[in-house]
Amino acid sequence: MKPFPIFYKLLLFIVGTMVLVFIILGVAQNLLVPSIYKNDLESKMIESIEALDIELSSNDVDLHEEIINDFMSTSNGRMMVYDKTGKGLFGNTRDLPIRILIQLNDENIITEEVDTLDQNFMQVMMIKTDYIFIYQRSLEGLNQSISLINDLFIYITSLGIILSILTAFFISKRFSKPIHQLIHLTQSNDVSLPDTHRNDEFKTLMVSFISMKKRLNDTIDTLKKELEKEKKQDQLSKTFIANISHEIRTPISVIQSAIDLLSVTKDSAKIETYYKMMHSQIKLIEKLTNDVMLISKLQSNTNSLHKKDEGICTLIEDIINELSLIHHDVDFNHKKPKSDKILSMDALSMRQVINNVLNNAIKFRNKDSIIEIKYEQYQDYFDVMITNQTTPIDEAHLPFLNQTFYKVNSDGLGLGLAIVDQIMKAHGGSFYIRNINEGVEVVLRFYDE
């Protein structure tokens, strides 16, 4: 069932209320006003009779007719005076009937409406000490006034209903418009405040609703991002497991083959070779395991760093000296600044970063080329740049080199640069790789705290 719009509800309510008010006023003016008028007229007529009685009692009988005539000339009505027996004295042509005398003796005052010759009168019959008074006043003026008021009331009511409809239309439209705007806000993606000149509770409600909608949209966006992140993480986990399985399959196959060969050969030279093969593959599996455990800790933020102020140039110098003992044919050009750059870092983790980058530079350099290490201080950060001369990397690969198990060629496990990326992020820094003239440069960026 289609809901009844609030616009029409308000319109009917206001118009109905105004019509009810006019009905009540119409009933009141036809019932209450005449009653009030008649009560007031009755009181005045009784006061006039009492005043006339006092005047008649204080004057001679010869003056009574003159007094009554004077009264009649100044009052708007007709006065009839009788004695206690009901005999007419003034203003009447006949005596009072016995039933009226008896009724008067019981009630003392009788007030009633009488019709005489198509005219309506208010009549007060009152018994005093010496006289019985009957005072009549016409109600024609009241009837004419009520008729006039009724005619006027019809015009006023008609005009009032028209005005109430217009007023109700305006009020209903003013009240229903912000409600429709709110409904529009709930059904659209719009989070801007509608163009309105209102400055009342409706505007406050719309501002609050928009604020709530923005927060709800932000929450939904956050949940979507979290869901996408979970999906991506789930996919990464599957890929991670598949890559580990792939990487570990080769050394296990080599070890299995070596064990099989050991069982069928008695040649001591071959036996020694097979043992060396197994030893190297076990070392490879151990390195893979350690790297996987480390990157897992780094990605889950469970690898605690023990930071302290260290000189990065000194640390790199120590690592270069160590690598020079192993790689006698590699030349390093270490362009140390005048003063060492002190950074807050975990020395063990940062040593692994430098080792991974330098080992990559050594592995993929052109033969007899020099590996260059230099530094640059900027306004908000400090860069360590490690450059080797080699074949440039395809630009399509550069954005993905920090991903786990991502390899440009078949060499290595694809974990070294992923570990570098995670450790640099844990230190609040970053790293990236770029091609330069006849080589590749790795940039380690440390932001000033």
pLDDT-derived band at 414, boundaries 50, 70, 90:
low
Q: Which amino acid is at 449?
A: E
Q: Is the model's pLDDT at 412 over the cut of 60? A: no
Integer Cα distance of 426 and 104 in angstroms: 116
Residue 240: the pLDDT is 62
Give the tens place of pLDDT for each residue, 26-62.
Answer: 777 777 777 888 888 888 888 888 888 888 888 877 7
How does pLDDT run across 311-360, given as a tens digit for each residue?
889 888 888 888 888 888 888 889 888 888 888 888 888 888 888 888 88
pLDDT of residue 288: 66
Q: How far apart are CA 438 and CA 389, in angstroms?
A: 6
Q: Which residue has the higher pLDDT, 365 or 284?
A: 365
Complete domains list, the chain, with CATH: 6-161 (3.30.450.20), 203-297 (1.10.287.130), 306-447 (3.30.565.10)
Q: How far apart are CA 128 and CA 132, in angstroms?
A: 6
CA-based end-to-end distance of the chain: 65
Bridging pattern class, strands 439-447 and 342-345: unpaired
pLDDT tier, 8 (very low <50, low <70, confident <90, very high otherwise): low
Cβ(145)–Cβ(152) below 8 Å: no
Q: What value does the mean pLDDT take over residues 369-384?
A: 89
pLDDT tens for residues 210-242? 777 778 878 888 888 888 877 776 675 666 666
Name the pTM for this structure.
0.43
DSSP code at position 216: H
For the cut 70, the answer to whether the pLDDT of residue 299 exceeds it is no
